[in-house]
Structure 1
Amino acid sequence: MKTPVPSHPKSSPAFPLGNCDRRAFVRRLMCAAAGSALLFDSPVRASAPAGQTPRYRIGVCDWMILQRQKIRAFSLAAELGADGVEVDMGPLGSRETFENALTQPEVRARFLEAARQHNVAICSVAMSGFYAQSFAQRPTVPRMIEDAIQTAVGLGVRVLFLPLGVPSDLMQHPELRPAVVQRLRQAGERAEQARVVIGVETSLPAAEEVRLLQEIGSPAVRSYFNFAQAVKHGRDIIGELRTLGREHLVQIHATNEDGLRLPEDPKVDLPGIRKTLDEMGWGGWLVVERSRDAGNPRDLRHNFATNIAWLKKVFAPTDAAR
């Protein structure tokens, strides 16, 4: 478990990948898109019938339950009813890279032990600092990406979350597209070598996001879809999911902006979304980020336990989904 994590290697990648290995990696991604558990595996799995991995699992963001990079995130996630935790890389600010304690093998070992103890998976590693910082323009982004990939590898996690936040929003700043594409191509090459996938959240319509992914051209850069982006821009969530298709979709933030919890939110038709994902043949993690009650936004159990319970009810295993 004590895999060393170099801070930011300047030499050749630690995971060389030949053409045969790359073809195998691409095949594995395509299997995952068809519902295989390979891509979504983590060192700890949520409970399921013997020999089965649930088609859908429900996670929660550690920073949104006020446990960013804290061991307590796992016990709290279990109390809230979640199957997994999306672990954040830590804050960025003006630093050269994330403030990330998980570079330390002993810290990673404690996280993995807590995950096992509470039967809560690490579903993904998040770079939430890019909500407010510029992925397109900050000079040390390659180091940040390398640090995140090495952290994911050290934790045995296959998916990384990368939001293109306001400073790199391609709807607001279309002039940044060449820089974003170039950096995501580089990140995709490194992700392929490490056998991980970077899930990108954008504000683009699904058809435009597909074109962006095709321009990047890496099977290791895919869409991390957020219900809130569709709702915010007046788009139909179900239509957006169908446009993305299972081959482009790696993970989902099953959340809207704050105001209503998911069971009370008419803009998020979870039963219809479940039906659509079933028809698409997609399976994987749905991770709660926000959707907090405007009247009681600070009560974690009131908000997150309710949202998780509703997601679990809608996405519970059925014979048709197995």
Structure 2
Amino acid sequence: MNNLFAIIAMVLVSSQLAGGEVVRQRDIVYHRTEGVAMTLDVFVPENPNGIGIIKIVSGGWKSHHHKVGEGFTSPYTDHGYTVFAVFHGSQPRYQVREIMDFMHRSVRFIRVNADRWNIDPNNIGVTGSSAGGHLSLILATTGAPGDPTAKDPIDRVSSAVQAAAVFYPPTDYLNWSEPGDDAVGIGKQARWQPAFGDESATAAGRQTLGHAMSSIYHITESTPPISIIHGDADPIVPLFQSQSFKKVAESKGVPIELVIKAGAKHGWPNRQADEIQFLKWFDRHLLPPARNDVGFRLGTCDWSIQQQFSTESFHFAKRVGLRGIQYSFGTEGDGLDLRTRQNRDTLRDTVKQTGVAISSMGIGLLNKIPFATTDEGENLVIECIETMEKLKREATELAERDPTDHEFATLVSPNVVLIAFFNRGDINGNPALIEQTITKLKRVAPFAEKHGVTLAIESLLNEKDLRHILDSVGSPALKVYYDTGNSARMGYDIYREIASLGADNICEIHIKENNALLGEGEIDFVKVKSLLTTMQYNGWIIIEGSAPKGMNRTTACKHNAAFALDLFAK
């Protein structure tokens, strides 16, 4: 009987920490191989925030339970994070390739069982030191979707993480302390050769293995935010490893920070105090965006990050701290076509997961199928209004069934649709097309009014022509979608136009710079913010474009989001 109680005590124990009682669930099996169980321990805080952090227990690719002592989960559990201490099979029995696979499996297991621990499956962080840092960055750079045809449901889900924070990580075994310094089981890493296995016996094998196990070669524009702390006197993993990684990450537009500790070696006393930096990093990149009642609501267009008709645009927005996505409305069959209830449900689920709103709709297809001259263009606008009405009605029904969904209902009920007039749809300088546009808007505007939708004209027109259209149509459902970049490119005085049109006529705004990042071109966005504040503008501010020639759009949007958040969200 005493043995039974001892076993139960090992499975579930509680400890008292600064942040309240933390319940530890021990020895949960996430994988079995050759009759051996791979396990993890879960630390559930008294007041969980719904976010999970994986802490990889590994040193020299050996994983020991005695490393998980008092204070192991601080400061994360103290601040509401659920911590997963992940153990793996140790070298030399298991080699690095196998150990990396174990890590991917652990993330998939945690994601599949997210409801069990009440964490967000789409918002998981990872941390570790030394070999644990190496494995953390492998997850950050090579985490991938699962195999939808796999027999095991765990293998069908993604192993990607959404943020990483690590101490002194190895990142490039082919260039260890300087370019060309091969350390794939030889040279400065020879004492760990058993972990590399037979593949490290030949130069060709080392090249293949070194590339596979070095996170620096797998960095892409989609790599999640990464924080690193490394000592400049580290005799085991040279600082060169983190500096090289940072350089490549920055070239890809990955949010990254590297803190160099002067005189620090491979570990140092009171290292836990430095994890406060990691805590802040996870707070910034994993917690839902703060709802700031003072600052402006900021979002981006799905087309500006090359994710039209895709739920991934919402996850991207969350990662960079934006609160909304301007979602594309296109022809039937384009990506996630919102004409179908199933697709609207999918999009609502994504909004609920991310907390990122559908800020507005945009019909970019009108640049190919002009509103002014085609019946198809007019029908697109009508179909979009109908779809927006369905989104509103269905959200209202959800809120009526569950009063806690009232705030959520506002996130999935956009009121504004952008009517584009560019390329083939351009009407600037053509009075006849402007009059045709007025005629059509007079037909469509009453339908928009009926369903509480605002039609927003985005064009190359100047203020005089815009006012002529607004006055001629005479509908409260017709407003201007102001674009700073387009108007500046046309040579208009954007500051005068914004002030003159005012909040009565501008329902939404694109902040955009021509062939430059926001804040690095000709537009004075501090002045734009001042004008919007003065006129008490309360619509969305949407980041569009603003990329120098040759720069990846996603990379540019990460930079632009940081600039806009710093300026407009305060």
Alignment TM-score, normalising by the size of structure 1: 0.76
Which one has the largest radius of gyration? Answer: 2
Q: What is the CA distance between 1:238 and its match in structure 2? A: 0.9
SS of the residue 1:204 aligns to = coil
Give the C-alpha shift of residue 173 in structure 1.
2.3
Contact map agreement 1:206 1:241 (CA 8 A) in 2: no
**Aligned with 2:375: secondary structure?**
coil
Equivalent residue pairs, number: 261
Q: Deviations over 1:210-237 (max 9, x none)?
A: 2221111111010000011211111222
Structure 2 equivalent of residue 304 of structure 1: 557
Per-residue deviation, 1:81: 2.3
Structure with greater contact order relative to length (CA < 8 Å, sep ≥ 6)? 1
Task: Confirm or deny that 1:216 pairs with 2:478.
Answer: no
The residue that corresponds to 1:270 in the other structure is 525
Q: 1:199 to 1:54 in 2, by over 3 A?
A: farther
Within 5 A, what are the aligned runs for 1:66-215? 66-91=306-331, 99=334, 101-155=337-391, 156-215=413-472
Deviant stretches of 4+, over 4 Å? 97-100
RMSD: 1.9
Letter in 2 for 1:283: N
1:30 paired residue number: none
Q: Distance in 2 between matches of 1:186 and 1:247?
A: 22
Change beyond 3 A, Cα 1:113–1:54: farther
Which whole-Å deviations, capped at 9, do the CAs of 1:242-288 have from their partners, x for residues lacking one? 1212110100011133x2101211x2111100111111111221111
How far apart in 1 are the matches of 2:381 and 2:352? Answer: 27
- Going from structure 1 to structure 2, the CA distance change for 1:148 and 1:54 (only over 3 Å counts) comes to farther
Is 1:233 equivalent to 2:233 in the alignment?
no
Deviation by residue 1:182-231 (Cα, 9 ceiling, x = unmatched):
11112211110001101111211113212221111111010000011211
Q: Confirm or deny: 8 A CA contact 1:98 1:144 kept in the other structure.
A: no
Residue 112 of structure 1 deviates from its aligned partner by 1.0
CA deviation after TM superposition for structure 1 residue 55, in Å:
4.8
1:98 to 1:196, Cα distance in 2 relative to 1, 3 A = farther
What does residue 28 of structure 1 align with? Answer: none
Structure-1 separation of matches of 2:435 and 2:561: 38
Q: Distance in 2 between matches of 1:145 and 1:304?
A: 28
Contact 2:289 2:321 in 1 (8 A): no
SS of match in other structure, 1:251: strand
CA deviations on 1:48-80 (whole Å, 9 max, x unpaired) are 25xxx4551111111221211111111111123
State the match for 2:291 in structure 1: 48
* Structure 1: gaps of 5 or more residues: 1-44, 92-96, 318-322
Q: In structure 2, what is the Cα distance between the partners aligned to 1:185 and 1:218?
A: 8
Q: Distance in 2 between matches of 1:256 and 1:185?
A: 33
- Alignment partners' CA distance in 1, 2:497 and 2:556: 26
* Alignment check: 8 A CA contact 1:255 1:288 kept: yes
User: What SS is found at the alignment partner of 2:359?
Assistant: strand
Contact 1:46-1:57 at 8 Å conserved across structures: no
Q: For residues 281 and 183 of structure 1, do their structure 2 counterparts lie closer, same or farther at Cα, with a shift above 3 Å needed?
A: same
Match of residue 7 from structure 1:
none
Q: Kindly provide the amino acid, as one letter, of the partner of residue 384 in structure 2.
A: A
**Aligned residue number for residue 34 of structure 1:** none
Distance 1:282 1:128, change over 3 A: same
Query: Contact conserved, 2:484 with 2:510, CA < 8 A, in 1?
Result: yes
TM-score between both structures, scaled by the size of structure 2: 0.44
Residue in 2 aligned with 1:286? 541
